[in-house]
Amino acid sequence: MAAETRPQAPAVTRPRATSGDPIEPDWEQRIKITVGPEKADIVGSDHRVIQAAVDYVAGLGGGTVQILPGEYRFRNAVQLRSGVRIAGSGLDSVCVKEPSVKTLLAENSDWYDQEVTLADAAGFGVGDGIVLRTKNPNNGSMDTYKRTLVARSGKRFRLNEMLVENFWTKEGASASTLFALFDGFRVSNVAIENICLDGNRANNEMLNGNYVGCIFLRESNRIHLRQVTARNFNGDGISWQVCHDVRAEDCHSHDHAGYGLHPGSGSQRTVVTGCKLERNDIGFFFCWGVKWGLVEKNSMLDNKRFGVSIGHNDTDNVVRNNEVLRSGKTGIYLRQEHGPAFSPSRNHIEGNRVVDSGSENGVAIDVEGVTESVTLKRNTLLETRQPARRIGVRISKEAKQIALAENRIDGFSTPVLDLGK
């Protein structure tokens, strides 16, 4: 019996602006505000002028914040708002994170408190973004929360929100001026384009991409990143966690301590194309449960460990027509982390050029664990150095239904090592 066709409303051909309806006319002009060191609607050269413009535009229903040429120094993240487009002036608009400072807490703060007392308040000021960290006394894990300092008396600071967890001196509770340059939480229809973001890695403490980055997004949808240069962050370049329909085009993410691009846990339908990811720890990192993504026509160059890493329950993705060159360990790595049910299955790896991966025992494409139903097709795997103990494709003993077709594999001591045969 044929599946029932559900009735559909007629297509909207002559839209009008109607309250609450996201379908609108294609307006010729929208709200636009310029920010810059001079001759701008809002004059200044720090995060506050950009935040003021973002909030103004968002309050009028959306539009564009145009960041004029100049260097902008950040002591806190710019909080993104739905419906706002941030457009820079290319490499002439540079947003730089100020150096971080860190201190222990001088007094205990409980989970319901909205203040902390610092052991050394030098370098901390009202308006600063901070990260508070402590060991959890119940399970030994590290609790990490982002806050803003909003009032002060000496070494005692009020926070913008309550703590949620206990921050006790006996557990080593600390505060650091760490934050993303652009931070979005539960926002939608946001664009960031044609701008340079500098994490000032040499003068900042490390914090991983589950919390910050040059751009950090969480629980947000329909985000467009275009021609963004993200560089030198002591963590990830651009990270998005539980975000859907994120699109990154022609971005350059380089020289980060963490990952160049990091689609985080549960992110659906990511599209990344034309990006250059180089000299990071990992170029492109699929986190947990990243599905239905397309990674196409990108360059992953000279990344410390992996060009592309796919793992925990990352399924139904396409990695196609990328250049993955000189990865420190493995070019494309399909990892298994927590057993068979969490394997990176049903992924399609096609048309990639993977060259000179790892040291003398490096692997171009490594398929670990009980990974199933993966296609490796029309890839070019090259080793231009000595063959040594290098492997083109390595397939674990437990992997199933790994299909190899029309691949070119040259220069390796072992072109294909299938440990299940």
pTM over 0.85: yes
Tell me how far apart the alpha carbons of residues 383 and 166 are, in angstroms, rounded to a whole number.
53
Tell me how far apart the alpha carbons of residues 364 and 329 are, in angstroms, rounded to a whole number.
9
The model's pLDDT over 50-67, given as tens digits with 9 standing for 90+, comes to: 999 999 999 999 999 999
Within this chain, do residues 253 and 369 fall inside the same structural domain, yes or no?
yes
Do the domain assignments include residue 331?
yes
- Confidence (pLDDT) at 371: 94
> Which domain does 213 fall in, by range?
180-418
Phi/psi at 279 (5° precision): 60, 40
**pLDDT mean across residues, the chain:** 96
Do the domain assignments include residue 130?
yes
Within this chain, do residues 372 and 410 fall inside the same structural domain, yes or no?
yes
pLDDT confidence bin for 139, thresholds 50/70/90:
confident
CB 57 within 8 A of CB 51: no
- Confidence (pLDDT) at 339: 73
Is residue 165 predicted with pLDDT exceeding 70? yes
Residues 68-75, mean pLDDT to the nearest whole number: 98
Q: What percent of the chain has pLDDT over 70?
A: 99
- Confidence (pLDDT) at 393: 98
CATH number at residue 352: 2.160.20.10
Within this chain, do residues 150 and 194 fall inside the same structural domain, yes or no?
no
Within this chain, do residues 318 and 210 fall inside the same structural domain, yes or no?
yes
Q: 94: which residues sit within 8 A by CB, 6+ positions away?
A: 70, 71, 72, 196, 197, 198
- Confidence (pLDDT) at 3: 60
pLDDT confidence bin for 342, thresholds 50/70/90:
confident
- Confidence (pLDDT) at 421: 79
Within this chain, do residues 168 and 204 fall inside the same structural domain, yes or no?
no
pLDDT confidence bin for 420, thresholds 50/70/90:
confident
The last residue of one of the domains, among 148, 176, 204, is 176
The last residue of one of the domains, among 121, 146, 176, is 176
Is residue 74 predicted with pLDDT exceeding 70? yes
Choose among 271, 207, 209: nearest CA to 237: 209
- Confidence (pLDDT) at 2: 56
Domain count, the chain: 2
- Confidence (pLDDT) at 322: 98
Do the domain assignments include residue 74?
no
The model's pLDDT over 170-207, given as tens digits with 9 standing for 90+, comes to: 999 999 999 999 999 999 999 999 999 999 999 999 99
Is residue 13 predicted with pLDDT exceeding 60? yes
The model's pLDDT over 268-323, given as tens digits with 9 standing for 90+, comes to: 999 999 999 999 999 999 999 999 999 999 999 999 999 999 999 999 999 999 99
The CA-atom distances, in angstroms, between 350 and each of 129, 150, 228, 365, 369 are 43, 51, 26, 12, 21
Within this chain, do residues 124 and 201 fall inside the same structural domain, yes or no?
no
Choose among 162, 76, 154, 153: nearest CA to 115: 162
Choose among 201, 252, 192, 245: nearest CA to 221: 245
Between strands 129-135 and 142-153, the pairing is: antiparallel
Residues 145-173, mean pLDDT to the nearest whole number: 97
Do the domain assignments include residue 313?
yes
The model's pLDDT over 224-265, given as tens digits with 9 standing for 90+, comes to: 999 999 999 999 999 999 999 999 999 999 999 999 999 999
Do the domain assignments include residue 30?
no
3-class DSSP assignment, residue 58 = helix
Is residue 1 predicted with pLDDT exceeding 60? no
Q: 241: which strand partners?
A: 218
The last residue of one of the domains, among 176, 203, 224, is 176
Do the domain assignments include residue 291?
yes
